[in-house]
Amino acid sequence: MKVITTVDNKVKKIETKLSKLDAVQAEVNTIALRLCPLERALKETQAKYTEIENSVTDLSNICDGVKERIDREARELDSIKRECIENKSEIKELKEGVGRIGIENLTKTNGDKDKIEQLRDDITDLRCRSMKSNLIFTGLTYNRNENCEEKLRNFLYHALEIEHFVELGNVHRFKGKLQNGARPIVARFLYHNKLEMVLKLGYMPRAKPFGIKEQFPEEIEKNRQKMYGVMKRAKQEGRHVSLVRDKLYIEGELYIPAYVTGDQDPTNTRQSPMASDPQRTPSQTQNVRQANKRPKTGYSPNSNLE
């Protein structure tokens, strides 16, 4: 009987421990259920961390590319600056050479005249080269303490609708008296394709009433003005024209005005069309003279970009 009692007590103790094990098992199951969301959250966090790490890598690559581009453009800008300095030095040397030689002594012989003309042509050519990356903008209002580059960038963005960044060098207004309330702004473009794009957009209706044109030395600009009427009339006739500096080409042939050649032969196709047409009536001649007037640059003092 005593043995049975002892066994019964041991069985009760075992049952008690088993009940505690069941409780522990229930708690373990509860903890496992709680850990499942945490495990999922951990996996999502790891995925986001991997995504962020990839994004950081991409940004690092982009930054490296931008830095490389900035370094390349800085080198190109330094090269352009050195070229400008060299051009200025050559112009100065040529001017000093002309001063030392003396124009009065050089004009005594035809050979000396040729040297003078050659020196003048060289100086003009160097000045054209130094201005080849410049554009002149007219019609932009003047404000005291203004930032010319910022004003020009606003014009490119709002008037010409150029949304990307355009690399510019020096931007300033011309010195001297105001022209209709505002001096023109001259800007140097670091890349010629950007200059051509802006110049092309300057002929669009949305660019009016502002004016955009290339910068040339004064003597070149005067000769270009003489060609505007002929060029306009040739375009109206559907002929292909090209104005390179102060040289006008019509259908690939250099146009030489009659006042230069002195040739009044109507069969000369290279002279002025007005002089080569003996059948032109007075009214037609008047119309041609009107067409020969230089076209307006698109500037209007009443329509300014603030």
Q: Note whether 206 and 236 are same-domain residues.
A: no
> Helix, strand, or coil here: 167?
coil
In a domain, 85, yes or no: no
For 208-241, how does the pLDDT look when each residue is reduced to its tens digit (9 = 90+)? 778 888 998 888 888 888 888 888 899 899 999 8
Q: Note whether 208 and 155 are same-domain residues.
A: yes
pLDDT of residue 110: 62
In a domain, 51, yes or no: no
pLDDT of residue 286: 43
Q: Which helix (H) or strand (E) holds 62?
A: helix 2-101
In a domain, 277, yes or no: yes
In a domain, 211, yes or no: yes
pLDDT of residue 262: 52
Q: Note whether 233 and 265 are same-domain residues.
A: yes
Q: Note whether 203 and 248 are same-domain residues.
A: no
Into how many domains does the chain fold? 2
In this prediction, residue 12 has a pLDDT band, given cuts at 50, 70 and 90, of confident
Q: Would the pLDDT of 274 be above 70? A: no
Among 170, 189, 215, which residue terminates a domain?
Answer: 215
Q: Range of 172's domain?
A: 135-215
For 20-33, how does the pLDDT look when each residue is reduced to its tens digit (9 = 90+)? 777 888 888 888 88
Q: Note whether 256 and 276 are same-domain residues.
A: yes
pLDDT of residue 147: 92
Among 171, 200, 215, which residue terminates a domain?
Answer: 215
In a domain, 97, yes or no: no
Q: Note whether 192 and 240 are same-domain residues.
A: no
Tell me what the mean pLDDT of segment 153-157 comes to. Answer: 91
Q: Would the pLDDT of 271 be above 80? A: no
- 151: CATH: 3.30.70
Distances (CA, A) of 83 to 124, 131, 272, 273: 16, 12, 39, 41
Tell me what the mean pLDDT of segment 255-275 comes to. Answer: 51
Q: Note whether 223 and 211 are same-domain residues.
A: no
Q: Note whether 286 and 232 are same-domain residues.
A: yes
pLDDT of residue 284: 43
In a domain, 10, yes or no: no
Q: Note whether 142 and 211 are same-domain residues.
A: yes
pLDDT of residue 304: 40
Is 160 in contact with 139 (CB distance < 8 Å)?
A: no
Q: Is 145 left (phi over 0), alpha (psi -120 to 50) or beta?
A: left
Q: Would the pLDDT of 278 be above 80? A: no
For 78-106, how does the pLDDT look when each residue is reduced to its tens digit (9 = 90+)? 888 888 888 888 888 888 777 776 655 65
Q: What is the pTM of this model?
A: 0.47
Q: Would the pLDDT of 74 be above 50? A: yes
Q: Note whether 193 and 238 are same-domain residues.
A: no
- Say how far apart CA 241 and CA 231 lie, in whole Å: 7
